[in-house]
Amino acid sequence: MDKVGIGIIGCGNISGAYLTAMASFPVLDIRGVADLNSDLARAKASEFNVPFATVEQLLADPKVEIIVNLTIPKAHVAVGLQALEAGKHAYSEKPLGINFTEGKKLAEAAKGKGLRIGAAPDTFLGGGHQTARALIDTGAIGQPVGGTATFMCPGHERWHPNPAFYYEVGGGPMLDMGPYYITDLVNLLGPVAQVAGFAVTPRKERVITSEPRNGERIPVHVPTHVAGVMAFANGAVVQIGMSFDVAGHKHVPIEVYGTEGTLVVPDPNRFGGPVEYLKKGGQFEEREVTAPYADGNYRSLGVADLAHAIRSNRPHRANGSLALHVLEVMEAFQTASDTGRTVTITTATERPAPLSESIVDGRLAR
């Protein structure tokens, strides 16, 4: 299979994970890395032995077919539109945009140009999550009834070297961590139909305790504790909690309940992890993870799947329809909180095709 040229824009904290994982996928040809901070881009290029480039050079390079957009959230749509205007497919870090209107604009631009868009997270393609999905699809839990999704921590200012953007518009626990949980739930259960919830901001200011900005105070412009309920089109009802205000808790990341059994699903911010299954009347037992991509951090698996999809002329899994649907669902919690009403989701998306075989060298489950 012919390689697909990749241009990476954004060389921040997450870029190292992408560049490391991309070495696992022979279909990807990294044509250059770029950043508004050229020194940062040069350092990243040197560290990973890939070409340095400017944004303009990547957009003009006829061998670059996909722009991988690793900028901060509020730049995702602007950079994505630049890529589309240059005739490139666009794949971004999560979320697709900082609001549904922006995300829809990007999706419509891609459709108008006949180009593809996609977005992280791609962790739902990992072996742990695909094993959980296979159990649901084969009827192990019976009819899905409900579930829980929980991410709660004291805040990212404890560890991130530059955490202010987590508390700006486009940040907060829902837009930062919600994509992992909601995308995985759509992978497991299908699209969301309705949302209800509350979003609050207990603290208006945070103190950074990580280096190099230790002691600096940063303002908070977004809700940092969100609690709600998602009613899925298949009838399942899932409770969700996303918070940067909780000192600690005992909830597992995701549980899915059915009429005949329960699943404990791995952390959706990881590709692997234990899958536990309880049959009605029995006890929890760990199930063997048989799907690939469960033994490491494969961040860029979604990009590789997109590249193979382009060459094979098939749909890609971490696609724009999925990302836009998840973005609308996340925004709906704020709308529900503001209005005191249940919000009906307007977008529809299909569950991405399951992934049960390696995509390396073109071996791919259809």
Query: pLDDT class for 362, splitting at 50, 70, 90?
Result: very low
Contact 82, 92 (CB under 8 A): no
Indicate if the pLDDT at residue 365 is higher than 50: no
Nearest of 6, 48, 50, 53 to residue 27 by alpha carbon: 6
Residue with tokens 């996609």: 118
> Given phi > 0 = left and psi -120 to 50 = alpha, else beta, which region is 300?
left
Provide the sign of the torsion angle of the four alpha carbons 6, 7, 9, 15, taken in this order.
positive
pTM score: 0.95
pLDDT for 293: 96
Instruction: Tell me what pLDDT residue 34 has.
Output: 98
Cross-strand bridge partners of residue 69: 9, 92
What integer is the mean pLDDT of 262-282?
97
What integer pLDDT is reported at residue 366 of this predicted model? Answer: 34
pLDDT for res 44: 97
Cα–Cα distances in angstroms (integers) from residue 126 to residues 31, 74, 185, 235, 299, in the given order: 26, 27, 14, 25, 10
CATH classification (class only), 4-123+297-319+346-362 = alpha beta
CATH superfamily of the domain spanning 127-287: Dihydrodipicolinate Reductase; domain 2 (3.30.360.10)
Per-domain residue ranges of the chain: 4-123+297-319+346-362, 127-287
Distance separating alpha carbons of residues 45 and 34, to the nearest angstrom:
9
Question: Are the C-beta atoms of 359 and 353 separated by less than 8 Å?
Answer: no
Instruction: Give pLDDT, residue 170.
Output: 85
* Tens digits of residue pLDDT in 178-237: 999 999 999 999 999 999 999 999 999 999 999 999 999 999 999 999 999 999 999 999
Average per-residue pLDDT in the chain?
Answer: 95
What is the per-residue pLDDT across 154-187, written as a single tens digit (0 to 9) for each? 999 999 998 998 999 889 999 999 999 999 999 9
